[in-house]
Amino acid sequence: MDIPLDLKPDSQRFTDQLRIFIRTRALAYNTEKQYIYWISCFIRHNNYTSKDEINAFDIPDYLEHLVVKQNVSPNTQKTALNALIFLCREYLQQSVDNLEFKRSKKATKLPTVFSHSEAISVINELNHPTKLIAQLMYGSGLRINEALRLRVDDIDLIHKTITIRNGKGNKDRTTVLPDSIIPELKTQLAFVKQQHKMDAINGDDEVYLPNAIAKKYPHRAKSYGWQYVFPSKQISKDPRSGQRRRHHMLDRSVQKQVTNAIKKLEIDKKASSHTFRHSFATRILERGGDLRTIQELLGHSDIKTTQIYTHVIGLHFSGTKSPLDFD
């Protein structure tokens, strides 16, 4: 579920107060969930019974515990570190200088990628609208939830671009819209428009809006432009407000179809729906695309994350001759 929990400002629960503080910093909801998870684990590990007991000096011990006892990856340890630094430095106003701990040194695995023919074969095995979602992941480099959270106004058919709002790291970015899927995308948008009209007749035409927008522009919840491009088949009831709304499709339904297609085609790779995004970056790099452009299209904050694709296609040793081919 990607809709933030409803919070009572006067709640005295520690996690509620922490969530409120996180939201004042305008962090993405996924970041909020990750921070709360790791902070809760940290608290349980140290058997804290009150906020006053939390101490930044305990962070190194916990981070080493994650490496030695739980064998976590470098990225997982880094996520936990970010959460605990936020807790102690930002929320509790404690010093976190000079933290020394054993860092995870698991080897970074190269991402699995489809060949172009494999990607197209998997896509052609999918049913609508999952097929269109997969085409956006492979053709535009979207993460699965970025595709599912697209709103109608995020699609620019004239300039052939897609805007991803509040992506990973709470950043907006723009990426390419493939010419080849525009006709099918127009059909999908026409379907959404008609469905929205029918929902309006039943009084169910309101969609979830991010909290700040919901407060400032409440009328937008009923507008066509804010409807999801890939809406759920059913109207659901918000357990907090009781409001009936049509949310977007669930990621697990897309993932299941993609997994089944990969198995059916007997593609012997550890692949998933996310493999389409890796394949997008690899194809562009193979065609001479530069890393900075790919970084922007994928929304990577660090160019080092994008550079891994040079290893996938062997560009890091481009021009190197094998000893067997020496004269």
Active-site residue numbers?
143, 168, 274, 277, 300, 309
List of E strands, 143-221: 155-156, 161-164, 173-176
Encoded amino acid at 77, one letter: Q
DSSP 190-207: HHHHHHHHHHHHTT----
Q: Do 74 and 103 touch, CB atoms closer than 8 A?
A: yes
* Backbone phi, psi, residue 286, to 5°: -60, -30
From first CA to last CA, the distance across the chain in angstroms is 61
Dihedral (CA of 233, 153, 28, 132) sign: positive
Tokens of 324: 């067997």
Collect all residues with Cβ–Cβ distance below 8 Å to 12 and sequence separation of at least 6.
none
